[in-house]
Structure 1
C-alpha cells in the first residue's frame, strides 16, 4: 500500500480538537457525544463544517495505527483514498482493514445536524440559507434557537432576514425559557395569517381536565368544568375521582354477578338459595350479605354517579404553566381569527367575482339575442360548447398554447357566428313572435348539436390547456389567493363589456340594433332592414358565446354537455339583470355569482342546495321586479 503523509498537527487544528475528544467519538454514545460535537461546532475553524458533514454522512474514518481522523473515498472494495479535514489535501491511500469507519446512529446524526445549523444559516449561498431556515421551521428544536438568533444581525438579504426573524419568534414561543421573551414573540404574530404561527400557538393553549383540589396553587387554570356537560360526561368525571383515590370504585352488575357465582356454598349464596336468585332484588340482597361477611367489595345500593361527582370541582387547566404566556397566546389567536375571517371574506368575494365573470361571459350573447329579438334560444349553451371544442381543435393544430389561444378566440367567434346565422336563417326567422315554438325548436337544435359533438369528439372530456403563464395563482397570503386563469377570465369579461359597449354605442350595427329594439316599425320606415339586423344580432350573440366557450374551457372540462351547465345560469343572469341590457346583465351576473358562493359557503357539503336556493331567490325576486334590475324599454320589454 502506498505511503501517505500525516496531516499537520499545528496548534488549533481540527485534528487537534478531534484527538482531544477521541475517546467519546470512538465510543459513539448519544449520552456522551454532545461535548465532542459542541467542541467541533464551536471551534471557529473553517474545517469544522466539513468534519460534521462527513461525520453525519458516515464518511469519516479513523486510522487504527495512530487514531487520526480523515474523510475517505472508495477506490475499490479494499482500498480508500484519505483526505485531510484541514485543507482537503490528498493523503494517499490505505487499506480498508487499516481503517475504522465511524457510523453514528440516528440520534447522533440528529445532534450533528443541529450543530450544522449555525453553519448553514451563515452559508454564503442564499439558497442554502433559505433551505436551512425552512428546514428549521419544519423540524425545529431548542438547539437551533441560539445559532438562529446569532445569524440575524449579519444577514444581508432582507427577505431571508425577515424569514429568520419569523422563524426565531416561532422557536422562541416553543423553546425559550424566558416568559417575557415568549410573550413578545407571541405578540409579534398579532393578526398574522401564517399557518406556522397558529401551529406554534396551538400547543401553548393545550388544556386538560383535572380535579381542582389535586392541582398546585399556581396551576394555570383556564375555566371551571361542570360534570355532566359535553366536555366532561358523568362517567369520565367518576373515573377521575376513583383514579385519584377520593372514593372507592363501585362494582358493576357483571362484577357482582361473578362474585355471587364465586361464593356459592351448598346451593346458597349469602343465605339465599341459588334457585331464588331469579330477581335483581334477591341478587342484591345476597350480595349485601356477602359484603357484611367481608367476602366481596363494598357496594352501595343507593349509589348515584351524579351524587358522587357533584361535590367535586373540575377545571380545565393549561399544559403551559405561565399565565402571561397563555393570556398573550389567547389574545393573539383572536387577532389571527379576525384577520383570517377578513381574508376569508375577501377570498369569498374574489370567488364570487370570478364566478360572476364566467356567468357574464356565458350570458352576454344570450342578453343580445333574447333582449333584441325576444328569442328564447335554448341552444345558447351548445354555442358555448362549440367555442370550447373549436379551441381544442386549434390546440391540436398549433402546439404552442399561447398562440393557439390567441388563434382560438377569433376562430371560435367565426365558427359560432356562422352557426348562429345559419340557425337564424333556417329556423328562428320563421318562428318570430312564437316563443313556445322557438323554445322547442332551439331545444331540438341543442340536442342535435350535443349528439354531433359526441359523435365527433366522444364522451370523454377533452383538455383545453392554458398557457404556462396562466398556471398557478396570485397568492396574497396563506388564506387569500386567486388563480391566474380566473384573473384572465375576469379581464376577458371586462374586455367583452368594453367591446360590446363600443359596438352598441359607436357602430352602425349598434345604432341599427338599438333602433330595432326600441321600435322596429319606425326603424324599418327609416331604411333599416330589421330582418338583416336580427340575423347579424343573432350571429353576434352566438359568436360571443363561442368566445366565452374558449374562456370557460380553460377553467372547466370540455364535454358535449358543458353547455347545459351554463344555460340555466345564463337565463337567470339575463332575467335578473334585465332583458337586453348589458349593464343589467353585468349586475345580474354579479348578484348570482355572489349569491351562489355565499350559499355554498353556508352549506359547503351540498352544492345542489346552492342551485336550489338560488332559483327560489330568483323566483321571489322577479315577483317584485319582473323586468329585472334594469328594465329595457322597447320590444323586449313588451312595449
Structure 2
C-alpha cells in the first residue's frame, strides 16, 4: 500500500510539473506579447466570449446584461470600445484587447483592466469584433446607465437626448437612479421630464403612470402628446355575444352609428367570419377558367361583353358547382346583425386610459388657445409689414392725391441699397444700421426727383399720373435687372436676429418679425411726432385739409408736395430694408407689396396715419384668418380677402378713419 501511495504521489508531482512548464507557452504564444491580468473585466469577457464573437442580436442580450451589471469600473470603456468596433480578440489565445496601430504597421495591445500596453501583434493575429447595427443599438442602451452619471456634462446631456430619441423600458430605472445625483439644474429638469414620459409609457404600476400623466397634463410639448396618443389607440374587435371579458372597452359601435353596414361586413370578411362579396375580378377569373368550345355555361364568348350575360354565365357555373355563390343582401345583413362591434383600447389599464383621455382633452384646449395666440402674433407681424410698406404711400396719396404705381419700386430700391451697403460693410449689424439711413436718403432723393420731373406737371390729372408712374415702375424694374441681374440677392440679417422666440411648442415668432414690428411702432411714433409737432407736419395737415386756404396763409403747396413725396418715398426705402431681411431681393420685390399697400391705405382711410395702421391690422388679421381656414391654397385666401375688402368699402367708402374738414368732401 505504501508503495502504491508513493507511486501515486510521484505521478501527481510529474503532472503538476508538466502543467507548470506548458502553461506559459499557452498564455504567451508570441514572444512580444505578454498575457494580460486574469482578473476583472477580462474574466467577464472570457465568460461571455462565445456570445461576443458571434455578435448575434438574437443571443447577445445576456452577454451585454452580464457586462453592464457587473459593477466593474472598466465596463463603460469596454462597452464603448465594443460599440465603436475597436475591441479585438487575439486568435491564438482568445484574449480581448484594445488595439492601436503603431508606426510599424503592427498593433499595440492595451490591457482592458490595467490600461497598460502588454504586447504587439500583427493584423492577421487579431480578430476585430464587429457588432451589427442591432447589437450596437443594444450596447448603446446598456451604455446609457453609465452615461447618465458620467462626470462630463455633455455626455450626460447626450444620453438624455438619446433616450428622448429612442425611448425604451430599459432606460427608465437608470434614468430614475441618475436624478438624485444630477447637479446641473437645466439637465435635472430634462431628466425629470424624460423620466415622467418613460413612466407613462413603460412603468408597470398603473398608479405611477396615472400620476405621471396628471403631472404632464399641463405640458404642451409635442413629445407629451406623442406619448399620450398611443395610450388611446384602439382596435376593432368583433364578438358574437357581449363585450369581451377583462378588455378595456373604449366604445361599442352600432350599425349606422359608428360603423356602416358595408364596413361591418368587410370587417367580418377580413376575420373569416363571413364569405366575401363577389368582385369583378373573381367573376372574370371564374369565367376564364371555365371556357369550353368557345362558351361559358352554354353562353357564347361574344355575348359576355354584356354585364347581364356575364352574370347569367356565372350563375350557370354556380349551379354546376364550378364557382362559389355570391352572398345575398339578406345574408350579408343577417351576418352583420349576428355580431357586436367594440373598440378595445390597446392599453389594458382603464385608469391609465381615463387619465390619458382627460389629460389630452386639457392639452388640446390649451393647444387651441395657444394656436390662436400664435395666429395673432403672425397677423400682427404681417400687419406691421403692411404698415411699413403702406405708410409712405398713405402720406403721398393722402396729401397729394397722387396714385403712385412706382411705390413698390421704392421699396425695391431700399432693399437693393441695403444689399450694396453689405458689400462694403461685412459686419451685418453695422451694415443694417448704415443701410437704414442710406436707403432713406437714396429713395428720398429719387422721390423728390420723380416729383419735380414728372408728378408736378400732372396734378389733378389722375389717369395721366397713374400711367406715368406705372411706366416709371417698369423702367425702374428694368434698370434694377440691368444693374443687379435677375438672380435674387441676399440681404443678411445680423446674427442676433437669427432664430425665433419660442414660447412653447405651439407659439413662436422669429426675431426678424419682432424687429420689424418694433420698427413699425417706431415709425408710427416718429410720423405722429412729425405730423403733430413739426412745422412740416403742420403745413402738411393744412394742405391736406384745404389746399387753397393753406396757400393763402403763406404755405407753399409745391414745396410741401415735394417734401411730402420725398418723405413717403424715403419711408418706402426703409421698409425695403426691413422686408429684404426675410424676402428675396429681386427687381420684382415691389410687385408683392404694391397691391397690399393700396388696399391698406384705402381700407384704413386716405391721408390718415391711424387709418393706415387700422387698415394694416384689418388686412393682416383677415389674411391670416382666411389662410388658417384654407391653409392649402394661399392664392385663394388672397382672393377671398380682396372680396371682403370690396364688400367692406361698399359700406364704408371713406375707410376706417375718414378725413375731417373740407378735404373730406373732395
Pairwise same-fold verdict (TM > 0.5): yes
**1:402-443 Cα distance to aligned partner (Å, 9 max, x none):** 222222111111111111112222222223233333223322
Residue 478 of structure 1 corresponds to: 505
Counterpart check, 1:438 vs 2:478: no
Equivalent position SS for 2:244: coil
Deviations 1:528-585 (A, max 9, x none): 2222122111111111111111111112122222222212211221122222121121
Using a 3 Å threshold, how does the CA distance of structure 1 residues 575 and 262 change in structure 2: closer, same or farther? closer
Q: Distance in 2 between matches of 1:57 and 1:520?
A: 83
SS in 2 for 1:474: strand
Q: Does 1:341 align with 2:368?
A: yes
Q: 1:123 to 1:302 in 2, by over 3 A?
A: closer
CA contact (8 A) 2:287 2:314 kept: no
Query: Which of 386, 394, 403 matches 1:359?
Result: 386
Counterpart contact for 1:376–1:435, Cα < 8 Å: yes
Counterparts of 1:262 and 1:455 in 2: how far apart (Å)?
Answer: 74
Q: Counterpart in 2 of 1:594?
A: 621
- Between the aligned partners of 2:311 and 2:418, the Cα distance in structure 1 is 84
Aligned counterpart in structure 2 of residue 290 of structure 1, from 320, 345, 358: 320
Match runs of 1:618-633 below 5 Å: 618-633=645-660
Which residue number in structure 1 is paired with residue 136 of structure 2? 109
* Secondary structure of the structure 1 residue equivalent to 2:102: strand
User: Partners of 1:91 and 1:459 in 2: how far apart?
Assistant: 68
> Which residue of 335, 338, 354 corresponds with 1:327?
354
Q: How does 1:198-213 map to 2 (within 5 A)?
A: 198-213=225-240
1:221 — aligned with what? Answer: 249
Find the aligned partners of 1:261 and 1:31 in 2 and give their Cα distance: 49
Q: Report matched runs for 1:100-139 at 5 Å.
A: 100-139=127-166
Task: Tell whether 2:192 aligns with 1:162.
Answer: no
Q: How far apart are the structure 1 equivalents of 2:456 and 2:209?
A: 78
1:6 and 1:91 in contact (8 A); partners too: yes
How many residues get paired?
631
1:371 to 386, 398, 411: 398
Which of 419, 437, 447 is equivalent to 1:392?
Answer: 419
Q: CA deviation at 1:371?
A: 1.6
Q: Residues 384 and 109 from structure 1, CA distance in 2 versus in 1: closer, same or farther, beyond 3 angstroms?
A: closer
Q: What pairs up with 1:449-488 in 2 under 5 angstroms?
A: 449-488=476-515
Task: Tell me the SS of whatever aligns to 2:160.
Answer: helix
CA drift of 1:457 comes to: 2.4
Q: CA deviation at 1:31?
A: 4.6
CA distance in 1, matches of 2:341, 2:497: 57
| Pairing 1:73-84 to 2, within 5 Å after superposition | 73-75=100-102, 79-84=106-111
The structural deviation recorded for 1:245 is 5.0
The answer on whether the counterparts of 2:318 and 2:324 sit within 8 Å (CA) in structure 1 is: no
Whole-Å separation in 1 of the counterparts to 2:490 and 2:456: 36
**In 1: Cα distance, 2:477 partner to 2:448 partner:** 18
Q: Post-superposition shift, 1:104?
A: 3.2
| Offset at residue 161 of structure 1 (A) | 1.2
Distance, in Å, in 2 between the alignment partners of 1:623 and 1:439 is 23
Q: Map 1:405-444 onto structure 2 (within 5 A).
A: 405-444=432-471
What is the RMSD of the two structures over their aligned residues, measured on CA atoms? 3.1
Q: Which residue of the partner structure matches residue 10 of structure 2?
A: none
Does the CA-based 8 Å contact 1:371-1:636 persist in structure 2?
Answer: no
Aligned mates of 1:264, 1:357 — CA distance in 2? 77
Could you tell me which of 68, 73, 76 is aligned with 1:41?
Answer: 68
Q: Which residue of 2 aligns with 1:51?
A: 78
Gap change, CA 1:177 and 1:565, over 3 Å in 2? same
TM-aligned CA deviation for residue 85 of structure 1: 1.8
Q: Distance in 2 between matches of 1:96 and 1:257?
A: 66
State the Cα distance separating 1:493 from its structure 2 match: 0.7
1:61 match: secondary structure: strand
Aligned to 1:585: 612
Q: Which moved more, 1:471-480 or 1:393-402?
A: 393-402
- Residue 205 of structure 2 aligns with which residue? 178
Map of 1:495 onto structure 2: 522
